[in-house]
Amino acid sequence: MLSISLRGQEASKGDFSEKRISIEKCQQWAMENYPAIKQHDLLDKAREYTLSNISRVYRPEFSLSGVASWQSERMKLDLKMPKTVNVSMDLNGPVSIPVSIPEMSIPVSDQDRYNVSLMLKQALWTGGRVKAGKQVAESEIDMMHAGLDAQLYEIKDKVKELYFGLLTIEGKEKQLDCADEILDSLHVRAEAALKDGVIYETDLDVIEVERIKYRQLRLELEAKREACLGVLSMLIHRPLSKETELQVPEEVILESDKIERPELKYLDSKIDRLEADLKMQNAENMPKLGLFATGGYGKSGLNTFDKEFKPYFIGGIMLSWNFGKLNTLKNDRKLKRVQQESVRIEQESFIFNTKMEMLMQDAEIKKMRNLVKEDEKVLRLRESIRQASEVKYANGVYTISELISDVNYALIAQQEKLLREIELKMMIYSKKITLGL
């Protein structure tokens, strides 16, 4: 694998900076150190707490209540008894004997009531709510994990742009180094020719103007490199310096066009989440069975007419079934199915758009490969022309301006070839990111 020395931040950071890095390492470090990655741990903790809470449905449930009330009417029994009744007896003939009935005391309840009670409930069967609730919680957390992965995946593209941007800048700087060597050589030869009276002094000025132009370009590149290097260093959370080597990725051949993007996993998790909701709907329409026990102390207790404070106890089995949701169950199920189908259509659209993007990338990669081959031919011709121009200039056939023009054309050919080679590698990496590799 080729490598390019990266001129970056000041040497004071060199002792702590990375010595050699690759684009794969940078992408890995960037994703590991991105602040949002911490949410994965928080989601795992949320999963643990949520599942624990759902499991506690089968634990006994206690509730304490107290009531003090006053009612506008008393509870009483309205019984009207006759003072006497006739009792018939058959003693060898009909006899009717009047019998008097003593007065009876009919109880009447008090208007004020006081009650303190402790109630215990124990679930025996929840109709599948616990299992369905756990599936909903699991699918919800999984969906959030997948959504976070899709968000973090975008960092790969940012690292790719910065990494290849730095390689491009370094490539241009190497071309400037080559230009400086050529201009330095021309300057030495021009000075010798000036002493011999072969050329004018303005020829040296023309060379110096070109050297100034290249120095200006170098200053621009250094500023861009410093900016890109600073952002990349912040993304990967590691110091980079001029001693750091950026490995130039080799051109790889992608054997498979299978799409494995995290966005698709996120959409799959949304479908699973809706499926869990369907199971929860079914469970919510099932009855619940449990035990209950209530112990209390109050006036009155279980006897409404009792005017004394007394303890009491009630216990038994309890069945509850809410039929209200059955009215909307059918439509609720259809709604969830529609939502699932909507997500599947979203998946199909994403795959369709991704495949279109891949077709365009394949066309660009093919075009760039052909251009690189042509660049090699152009470069050979431009180098040949430059060398011939130097001979012509030495023989007084060419002016310095004509020679400088051919030198620039040769340098441009070198730069175009180098930049296209880097761009080709970047396009291949772009396709890898598009595929989710």
Check residue 32 and give its pLDDT.
Answer: 87
Q: How far apart are CA 382 and CA 212, in angstroms?
A: 23
Confidence band, pLDDT 50/70/90 cuts, at residue 104: low
Q: Report the 10 Å Cβ neighbour count for 302.
A: 12
pLDDT higher at 78 or 174: 174
Check residue 356 and give its pLDDT.
Answer: 93
The H or E element that residue 319 is part of is strand 310-320
Q: How far apart are CA 383 and CA 200, in angstroms?
A: 26
Average pLDDT over residues 256-272: 90
Average pLDDT over residues 82-102: 58
Please check whether residue 36 is in contact with residue 153, taking contact to mean a CB–CB distance below 8 angstroms: no
Check residue 178 and give its pLDDT.
Answer: 83
Confidence band, pLDDT 50/70/90 cuts, at residue 284: confident
Check residue 302 and give its pLDDT.
Answer: 78
Check residue 4 and give its pLDDT.
Answer: 38
Domains of the chain and CATH, by start: 3-70+117-435 (1.20.1600.10)
pLDDT higher at 106 or 232: 232
Check residue 99 and give its pLDDT.
Answer: 54
Q: How far apart are CA 415 and CA 403, in angstroms?
A: 18
Task: Evaluate if residue 376 carries a pLDDT over 80.
Answer: yes
How many residues are given for the chain? Answer: 437
Mean pLDDT of the chain, nearest integer: 84
**Among 240, 266, 235, 307, residue whose Cα is nearest residue 142:** 266
pLDDT higher at 94 or 147: 147
Task: Evaluate if residue 398 carries a pLDDT over 60.
Answer: yes
Average pLDDT over residues 335-351: 93
Q: How far apart are CA 271 and CA 337, in angstroms?
A: 9
Which amino acid, 134? K
> 64, exposed or middle or buried, with CB in 10 Å at 0-12, 13-18, 19+?
exposed
Q: Which of 72-81, 161-170, 275-284, 385-394 has the lowest mean pLDDT?
A: 72-81
Task: Evaluate if residue 3 carries a pLDDT over 50.
Answer: no
Terminal CA-to-CA distance of the chain, rounded, Å? 20
Average pLDDT over residues 79-101: 58
Average pLDDT over residues 413-426: 89
Task: Evaluate if residue 91 carries a pLDDT over 60.
Answer: no
Confidence band, pLDDT 50/70/90 cuts, at residue 10: very low
Check residue 79 and give its pLDDT.
Answer: 62
Q: Tell me: the pLDDT tens digits for 291-317?
A: 999 999 988 777 777 788 889 899 999
Please check whether residue 22 is in contact with residue 247, taking contact to mean a CB–CB distance below 8 angstroms: yes
Check residue 135 and give its pLDDT.
Answer: 92
pLDDT higher at 93 or 137: 137
3-state DSSP assignment of residue 396: coil
Contacts 24+ apart (CB under 8 A), 291-295: 291/121, 291/122, 291/124, 291/315, 291/316, 291/317, 291/318, 292/119, 292/120, 292/121, 292/122, 292/316, 292/317, 292/318, 293/119, 293/120, 294/117, 294/118, 294/119, 294/120, 295/117, 295/118
Q: Which of 48-62, 138-152, 179-193, 308-322 has the lowest mean pLDDT?
A: 179-193
Six token digits for residue 265: 């996993």
Which amino acid, 123? A
Q: Which of 4-8, 45-49, 279-283, 306-310 has the lowest mean pLDDT?
A: 4-8
Burial letters 224-237, b for 16+ CB under 10 A, else e: ebeebbeebbebbe
Q: 289 - beta bridge partners?
A: 125, 319
Six token digits for residue 116: 């303190």
Q: Which of 178-192, 279-293, 376-390, 404-418 has the lowest mean pLDDT?
A: 178-192
Contacts 24+ apart (CB under 8 A), 28-36: 29/235, 29/236, 29/237, 29/238, 30/155, 30/156, 30/158, 30/159, 30/235, 30/236, 30/237, 31/152, 31/155, 31/156, 33/235, 33/236, 33/237, 34/152, 34/155, 34/235, 36/148, 36/151, 36/152
Q: Tell me: the pLDDT tens digits for 204-242?
A: 888 888 889 888 998 998 899 888 888 998 998 888 877
CA distance readout (Å), 185 to 106, 180, 191: 130, 8, 10
H-type helices in 313-399, by residue range? Answer: 326-394
Task: Evaluate if residue 338 carries a pLDDT over 50.
Answer: yes
